[in-house]
């Protein structure tokens, strides 16, 4: 087990490259750093944001890094050189989440401006704005088959959008506080959400119904993931607990 020094700054996000060779870390001091997993040393510093880096992802071919920031921008970086190759402007508030499709063609970003935006990664343009939430959009999850994307918001609702048209085809209602995290089963039939109401909820996508509410956390549920075999749900809360559910 190794410890990567935080460089005297809060860490807000990280992503492991698909080839498992590097870790990309986003910091409160506006920087991203790329760490080598063999030596556990930083090999590149990506500096262009003017606000804390809150979210990061990488294309499936590991060629481009995408980050979202307090400065309201989404930035695209060349992994090899560490250079910023494009600034995607359009959001009017903090960018909370970014995801990219496996064909390396489309980015989706979520913001405190209540919107999700769809960007074309090929020509790096704003394709569409997904409107529907009435408060900040806190999280995103892309379906494994990439036919839809899920967004969770401070308006207490979860929405499902088609990735092609950007249309909203379902709204999940049941949480009594903001939704901070969402995850999907491997077959995209079920969704798990975590909220400021201290609960996780398991939803069936096809019926848009909550099938189970999981109680246990004593504060906001900040993050959630589903194991690859769908056997477990792992949640992390502001109560400083990590819980594993069957």
For residues 217 and 47, give the distance between their C-alpha atoms in angstroms, rounded to a whole number: 37
Q: What is the pLDDT of residues 162-185, one digit of tens each?
A: 999 999 999 999 999 999 999 999
* Confidence band of 246 (pLDDT split at 50, 70, 90): very high
Q: What is the pLDDT of residues 77-110, one digit of tens each?
A: 999 999 999 999 999 999 999 999 999 999 999 9
What pLDDT score was predicted for residue 6?
64
197 in the Ramachandran plot: left (φ > 0), alpha (ψ -120 to 50) or beta?
Answer: alpha
Say if CB 152 and CB 165 are below 8 A apart: no
Location of structure tokens 């979202």? 68
Q: What is the pLDDT of residues 108-119, one digit of tens each?
A: 999 999 999 999
- Residue 106's SS3 state is strand
Q: What is the pLDDT of residues 220-230, one digit of tens each?
A: 999 999 999 99
pTM, rounded to two decimals: 0.94
Cβ-in-10-Å burial (0-12, 13-18, 19+) of 183 comes to buried
Share of the chain above pLDDT 70, in %: 99
What pLDDT score was predicted for residue 59?
96
Q: What is the pLDDT of residues 25-78, one digit of tens each?
A: 999 999 999 999 998 899 999 999 999 999 999 999 999 999 999 999 999 999
Per the prediction, the chain carries an average pLDDT of 95
């Amino acid at each position: 087990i190794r410890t990567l020094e935080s460089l005297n700054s809060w860490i807000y996000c990280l992503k492991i490259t698909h080839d498992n060779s590097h870790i990309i870390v986003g910091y409160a001091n506006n920087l991203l750093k790329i760490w080598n997993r063999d030596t556990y040393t930083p090999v590149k510093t990506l500096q262009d944001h003017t606000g804390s880096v809150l979210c990061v992802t990488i294309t499936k071919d590991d060629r481009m890094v995408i980050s979202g920031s307090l400065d309201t921008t989404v930035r695209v970086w060349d992994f090899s050189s560490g250079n910023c190759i494009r600034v995607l402007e359009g959001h009017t508030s903090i960018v909370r989440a970014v995801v990219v499709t496996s064909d390396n063609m489309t980015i989706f970003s979520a913001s405190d401006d209540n919107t999700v935006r769809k960007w074309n990664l090929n020509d790096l343009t704003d394709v569409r704005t997904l409107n529907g939430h009435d408060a900040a959009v806190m999280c995103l999850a892309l379906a494994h088959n990439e036919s839809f994307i899920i967004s969770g918001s401070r308006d207490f609702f979860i929405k499902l959008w088609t990735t092609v048209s950007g249309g909203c085809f379902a709204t999940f209602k049941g949480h009594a506080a903001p939704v901070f995290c969402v995850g999907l089963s491997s077959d995209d039939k079920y969704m798990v959400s975590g909220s400021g109401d201290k609960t996780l909820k398991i939803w069936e996508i096809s019926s848009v119904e909550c099938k189970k509410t999981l109680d246990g956390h004593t504060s906001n549920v900040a993050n959630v993931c589903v194991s690859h075999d769908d056997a477990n749900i792992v949640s992390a809360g502001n109560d400083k607990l990590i819980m594993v559910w069957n």
